[in-house]
Structure 1
Amino acid sequence: MLTTSFFDHTFENPFMNASGVHCMTHEELDELAASKAGAFITKSATLESRAGNPEPRYFDVPLGSINSMGLPNKGLDYYLDYALSYQEKQTRPLFFSVAGMSVEENLEMLWVIQKSNFNGITELNLSCPNVPGKPQVAYDFPLTKTILTEVFQFFTKPLGVKLPPYFDMAHFDEMAEILNQFPLTYVNSINSIGNGLYIDPMTESVVIKPKDGFGGIGGEYVKPTALANVRAFYTRLNPSIKIIGTGGIRSGQDAFEHLLCGATMLQVGTELHKEGPAIFERLTAELTAIMDEKGYTSIDEFRGKLKTINV
């Protein structure tokens, strides 16, 4: 009932982790592989390992989370070694995320992946909002086009891009026009909403240390924005470019709404951090129950078929 076709492969269900959550180490990745998630993705890698921003840098709040992680990860080689070992034993494709600290670093990492035996799906993160002094690339439309032009001069493996949230119809139009010029496998929308602020009224203080408390907002707070971005790109991108919906998925109902807007796969971040990999069994059960109640026997029967009010 929940089977999902993506990249010439059929996954048991559309659920994945969001890169950055429960995917730092080989052990955490193994736990995702053993979970009920349909697929999973590695931590966004930089060329060399990074400690990330100082603690505390993540905080659960009533309707979601705030974080300023600063791309802590164990480096490209660590995750590529895992990916190559994983694909020797599994037929299910692995998603591999990279997020360089510069355009040049991204290109260098993609060159390494291109020359490797990795046969999964690569995600280029153009939207990390929590590295001090580093702007989000995907808010610079000409730079985004320049990067993708350079990438596709040599990169021939399946590639998706992770995007920040957009808030203006003109920006949806402009970014979609750029993305449609390239043979992308997918767009992942959205990353956290950058530079929010959460205050503990008891201590009269911010709750995370980096950037004087400013951080990316995730969870329930961002679901309406995430749904809008999924829908906007689903209706603007070439049909060959699939959508991974990310943002505010904490129940089967949230997942259903993302799929209704046009998502093919679904990534879970904040709620995975709170519940652990067992969440995927709960989400699949809840989504199945909703589909049963509505009489749907497959996701394709309702994917992208969001109704609008025309009266």
Structure 2
Amino acid sequence: MAANVDLSTNVAGVKLPNLFYNASGVMCQTEKELNQLIESDSGALITKSATFLPREGNPSPRYTALPNGIGSINSMGLPNEGYEYYLNFAKNYNYNNSKGKPLFISLSGLSVQDNVNMITAFNDADLPCILEVNFSCPNVPGKPQLGYDFEGMENALTVLAPLIKKPFGIKLPPYFDIAHFDIAANIFNKFENLAYVTCINSVGNGLAIDVETEQVLVKPKDGFGGLGGLMVLNTALANVNAFYRRLSPGKQVIGVGGVTSGKEAFMHVLAGASAVQIGTTLKEEGEGCFTRISKELSEIMASKGYKTLDDFRGKVKTP
């Protein structure tokens, strides 16, 4: 890592040793995987999105990397161990033995009441973790993404935000219309303890086909799945910057999508990201990607004379 470069950051009032951690859904379903993240060079870790009860998820094959490193397609269907599993992990989480990494807990109830019940359980346990509510899973058959139902999302936040006793975040689907950025940001700005938004989740309902076999590459939903990796970078950057510009002062954006190297991470911060999550690259390369990408980002910053992330965060230029 380049000398005199500081990659530390703060999210929801909590310090991260560096800005990188896993995207929820990758290397975070089991305690074994979460412990791998603790031992890695990530700056934090987030759990798999938890439902009230355990889920096996969709049938396989449900994930595949796409050719030429362009990204991935998945239709996982929220496989997870159920919220009580992650609640117990949080109860036993030892910050002294975790390299100072904050623990984020992702919750994805299949109803608002599920989220109420899970949030209440975490509140009762009074744990020093940060809750993130997932409004954006595109791969549960029969369940639309709440992030695209603005009235429903505001109603959910009206119920959930007062229950959450600490600053919290939400994970969002990608938006593609300027009016939708405006509408969503106006909703989020109404809730004082909504500290950050994570964007983006995978771009929903792509279709990948193998020319040789003339077959789709994932089984669920007739082959339709969420797109991730390098191909979604520009959509992710647009969402990061759109919310960075529109959210009230003090609210933050976590960038995720298309990070394969330090270069893409630099662009996420330049667009306004306070931290950066890594999904497809982590899935394909393993936790060593945190070491490599941190080094690459440090070298880019040093070459430009930047010593901290604040030196260039949100300072992307227009012609």
Q: TM-score, normalised by structure 2?
A: 0.95
Cα RMSD of the aligned pairs, angstroms, is 1.0
Residues 136 and 145 in structure 2, CA contact (< 8 A), matched pair in contact too: yes
Residue number in structure 2 paired with 1:307: 317
Superposed displacement of residue 4, structure 1: 1.0
**1:298 counterpart = 2:305:** no
> Aligned-pair distance for 1:13?
1.0
Deviations along 1:82-130, one digit per CA (max 9) or x if unpaired, are 1111146455321000101112211211111111122111000000000
Partner of 1:258: 268
How far apart are 1:185 and its partner, in Å?
1.4
Selected match of 2:38 from 33, 38, 43 = 33
What is the CA–CA distance in structure 2 between the aligned matches of 1:269 and 1:182, rounded to whole Å? 28
Mapped partners of 1:23, 1:116: distance in 2: 21
- Among candidates 50, 68, 74, match of residue 75 of structure 2: 68
Q: Could you say what secondary structure the match of 2:93 adopts?
A: helix
Distance 1:162 1:65 in 2: 19
Where do residues 61-210 of structure 1 align in structure 2 (5 Å cutoff)? 61-62=66-67, 63-87=70-94, 89=96, 90=98, 91-183=100-192, 184-210=194-220
User: Hey, what's the Cα distance between the residues in 1 that align with 2:156 and 2:16?
Assistant: 30
Q: 1:298 deviation in Å?
A: 0.8
Whole-angstrom distance in 2 between the partners of 1:10 and 1:93: 8
AA aligned to 2:134 is N
Cα deviation, 1:205-226, whole Å, max 9, x if unaligned, reads 0011000000000001100000
> Which runs of structure 2 are paired with 1:209-288 in the superposition (5 Å)?
209-288=219-298
Work out the CA distance in 1 between the residues paired with 2:302 and 2:221: 46
1:48 aligns with 2:48: no
Structure 1, unaligned runs of 5 or more: none
Q: Separation in 2 of the partners of 1:84 and 1:158?
A: 19
Look up the SS of the partner of 2:26 in the other structure.
coil
2:14 and 2:21 map into 1 onto residues whose CA distance is 15
The size of the alignment, in residue pairs, is 309
Whole-angstrom distance in 2 between the partners of 1:5 and 1:163: 20
Partner residue of 2:28? 23
TM superposition shift of 1:241: 1.1
Q: Please tell me the residue identity of whatever aligns with 1:228.
A: A
Which runs of at least 4 in structure 1 moved beyond 3 Å after TM superposition?
87-92
For 1:2 and 1:12, the matched residues in 2 are separated by: 7
Q: Distance in 1 between matches of 2:174 and 2:12?
A: 24
